[in-house]
Amino acid sequence: MDADSRTREDLLAEIGALQRRVAGLEAERERCMAMERVLRQGEDRYRRLLESVTDYVYTVVVKDGRAVATDHGPNCVAVTGYTAGEYRDNPLLWLTMVPEEDRPAVLDHAARLLAGEDAGPLEHRIVHKDGTIRHVRNTPVLHRNTAGRLLAYDGIVNDITERKRAEELFTRLSLHDGLTGLPGRALYMDRLRQTMVLAERHNERAAVYFIDLDHFKDVNDQHGHETGDAVLSQTAQRLIRCVRRSDTVARLGGDEFVALTPGIGETANAVAIAEKMVAAMREPFEVRGVVCRLGASVGVAFFPDDARRGGELLRLADAAMYAAKNAGRNGWRLAGSLGED
């Protein structure tokens, strides 16, 4: 009886231990499920937070360095015009909507992310479903396991089209004259530098023109600055018509204008343009019933004949212009002829 009793007690103890173990496992399972619910809620809150501060979020699941699944958030339609379902139906839509010029950068960015590199944000263009061009900023957030292996990454996408437009407008306003729309000094000098590099490479000549209106101060004094501004705007258009589409006309300020003709060839070609400018300025300016008769003095300098630096070419053209004024105005002079006077 004692042996049987001990065996029964042992069995009861084992059963009790098993019950405690099962209870422990059940408690562990409940704890894990609770943790999973917390994590899932955290992920949901994370995604909702991202979608509240950005235009939309997409997620790429990664396995062995390859993208195995991509999920686009519901807000994707607001930025791209395409629904999440359309992205699922066409796995390459994310690439085909990128203009060809931007695709190499986008593909390189994706490859670096799949390799586990924290590639940082990328700004590029996309073609919206309606055919318009949009600018986006794609900021990746990598997700790794405890071993450091990449599991997925989120692409946080912002539509920055309006910001890009504002930047382009600011750049244009900083490089162009607000009254005439012509390039300003900085842009003109940049184009002059580029022209000289190309002229040097191809053994060509370029001409720099300095144009100053004659008697412009009288217009402002007699008819006011509004009339003067209108005359300056008309002057810009007349000068543009004197040169080729590939040439540059710019305004330095006041009634001072400059022009640049790359690949001008013979001196006679530049002389012909200077004569056209003088003739164009002789024509009366009509502004709201007021007729203004002016004229212009033009100075011309050549690269590389007169100088090989942009600032020096402009100075020589300016000196030639003043020589034309001193000779009676309403005419032109070449910088190379100044020493002959």
DSSP string, 63-129: ETTEEEEEEE-TTHHHHHS--HHHHHH-TTHHHHTS-GGGHHHHHHHHHHHHTT-----EEEEEE-T
CA 60 to chain centre: 28
Under the banding of pLDDT at 50, 70 and 90, the label for residue 24 is confident
The most confident of the ranges 44-58, 64-78, 203-217 is 203-217
**What is the reported pLDDT for 19?**
73
Nearest to 268 by CA among 221, 331, 326, 334: 334
Q: State the pTM of this model.
A: 0.59
Mean pLDDT of the chain: 88
* Mean pLDDT value of segment 227-245: 96
Task: Kindly tell me if the per-residue pLDDT of 147 is higher than 90.
Answer: no
Beta strands in the chain (DSSP E): 56-63, 66-72, 122-127, 133-144, 150-159, 206-213, 248-253, 256-261, 285-287, 290-292, 296-303, 332-334
Q: Determine what percent of the chain is predicted with pLDDT higher than 90.
A: 68
Q: What's the whole-number mean pLDDT along residues 86-104?
A: 94
Residue 101 has pLDDT above 90, yes or no: yes
Q: Which pLDDT value is given to residue 121? A: 92
Taking residues 131-136, what's their average pLDDT?
95
Are the C-beta atoms of residues 114 and 121 closer than 8 Å to each other?
no
pLDDT of residue 51: 53
Reading phi first (left if > 0) and then psi (alpha if -120 to 50, else beta), residue 340 is in alpha
- Residue 30: is its pLDDT beyond 50? yes
Between 49-63, 99-113, 125-139, the lowest mean confidence (pLDDT) is in 49-63
329: region left, alpha or beta (phi > 0 left; psi from -120 to 50 alpha): left
Q: Is the pLDDT of residue 39 over 60?
A: no
Answer yes or no: is pLDDT of 98 > 80.
yes
Q: What confidence tier does 17 reach under pLDDT thresholds 50, 70, 90?
A: confident
Q: How far is CA 320 from the centre of its chain?
A: 39
Q: What letter does residue 339 receive in the DSSP assignment? A: G
Q: Given pLDDT bands bounded at 50, 70 and 90, which one contains residue 337?
A: confident
Q: In this structure, what is the dihedral angle of CA atoms 73, 77, 79, 81, given to the nearest 10 degrees?
A: 150
Q: What is the pLDDT of residue 231?
A: 96
Looking at the chain, the whole-number percentage of residues with pLDDT higher than 70 is: 91
The pLDDT, as a whole number, for residue 9 is 75
Residue 94 has pLDDT above 80, yes or no: yes
Confidence of residue 178 (pLDDT cuts 50, 70, 90): confident
Residue 1 has pLDDT above 50, yes or no: no
Domains, the chain, ranges and CATH? 53-175 (3.30.450.20), 180-340 (3.30.70.270)
Distance CA 167, CA 123 (A): 14
46 has a pLDDT exceeding 50: yes
- Res. 277: pLDDT tops 70: yes
